[in-house]
Amino acid sequence: MPTRVILVRHGESSYNVERRVQGYLDESTLTETGKTMAQQVGIALRGLPIDIAYTSPLQRAKDTADIILAQLSDSPLLKVTESLKEINLALWEGLLFSDIEEKHPEQYRQWREAPDQLCMQVTDAEGRVQDYYPVQSLYERAQQVWREILPNHEGQTLLIVGHSGINRALINTAIGLTAEQYQVINQANCAISVLNFAAGFGSPVQIESLNQTAHLGQPLPNPRKGEQGVRLLLVRHGETQWNREKRFQGQIDVPLNETGRLQGEQVAQFLKSIPLRYAVSSPLLRPKQTAEMILHYHPTVNLELEADLKEISHGLWEGKLEAEIAADFPGMLEQWQTAPETVQMPEGENLQDVWKRAIAAWNRIVQTAMERPERGITLVVAHDAINKAILCHVVGLGPESFWRFKQGNGAVSVIDYPMGVAGKPILQASNITAHLAGGVLDQTAAGAL
């Protein structure tokens, strides 16, 4: 049984509103909005069996944790942990971000573009001036958190309430990202992320969801303040009967089943108020039907079809159940589940093939979005393997990390390109499924691709 970790960032604080750097500084307090957000998190987590909770000692996080636990019918033990403090930005704390950008432009550029290189000169207790790398130090601390906590709670559900920086470092170190990739994901105030660990730190881990904000009345997280560019919504098609049966479908053109059509309508309602301007889909029936249901509420948007977004070709596996594949191709199914990047599908594709065409298609879509006469949100509807390849690519992972991201039927992920296709993207959210079952966890069928 995996260990489930529910990560929550603290609610809106006074320094968040003022756009000041908080870091280790403990002068910032929750606003009334921040307190309401914490209550909304607690309501969203009701009914989930949380075994233990951990929080940063800084008051904006500790107060958030207390408010969350007060909403639960069976409140777990809360442990305060120094290691969950926010990133220590030393010389910047208490300053406005705008002042830092004006007075320290090179350091601010490093913070945004090369965070692993950000260096501050600080004076230690003995009066010696030393170079200090805050993001690298944060990553070391995040790894320490995982090593200390996970061995004590195997198979349990943990709640961790922290901060934007430490939460990002926890997620990134769990899936194998480096300090260079610190800015590639976002953590909004009181957003919920869910990670599933097979065992301890270093074991296979899956991001079930990232940066969910629907429980706050905000369907999708907002772009970071001051950032422009393009936004893309990546959606997986609704359920098919073969998903339900756990039958490999690949490029066989299986339509949505009744549940899949319901999911299509649910995601359509979820995105009804989102100002979509463009839409691209795989030409296979299941994503095309899903996209058409979404666009019913956006009648001025034309649907474009992209052949390179087709699902992975499973070759001779297509149409077969897992038990049949295990019998007909001994050892290959286990290899697919543990080392997918090494598998060549018999008379089909391998993940390198999928990566090459999926990322080429994705880059074309992003480039086209940047060149549109009127920029706006682009909808992309595709498949499990294709979406996983795109999400891995966005954060800087390769085919060996294929299983890192869960993609439920009808799930929505959000990717921003504030600097265009040549700049670094930001994964704002992944695998949002609250519109399907109404809860924090993904309840969709875990069917074959």
Q: Is 10 a catalytic residue?
A: yes
Helix (H) or strand (E) holding 124: none
Distance of CA 96 to the CA centre of its chain: 28
Active site residue: 10, 163, 237, 435, which one? 10
Give burial (CB, 10 Å; 0-12/13-18/19+) of 212. buried
- Measured between alpha carbons, how far is 378 from 368 in angstroms, rounded to an integer? 10
Burial per residue of 81-104, b for 16 or more beta-carbon CB atoms within 10 angstroms, e otherwise: eebbbbbbbbbbbebebeebeeeb
Nearest to 237 by CA among 190, 284, 200, 302: 284
The strand pairing partners of 305, in sequence order, are 281
Active site residue: 12, 86, 311, 318, which one? 86
Backbone φ and ψ for 143, nearest 5 degrees, come out as -60, -40
- Measured between alpha carbons, how far is 428 from 224 in angstroms, rounded to an integer? 9
* List of residues 6+ apart from 340 with CB closer than 8 A: 351, 399, 400, 402, 403
Q: Are 21 and 93 in contact (CB under 8 A)?
A: yes
Q: How many CA atoms lie within 13 A of 10 on its CB side?
A: 32
- Measured between alpha carbons, how far is 24 from 20 in angstroms, rounded to an integer? 12
CA dihedral 63, 65, 67, 71 (to 10 degrees): -170
Concatenate the DSSP letters of all residues of 90-119 into one string: GGGTTSBHHHHHHH-HHHHHHHHH-GGG--
Q: Is 245 a catalytic residue?
A: no
Nearest to 84 by CA among 161, 14, 31: 161
Active centre residues (catalytic): 10, 86
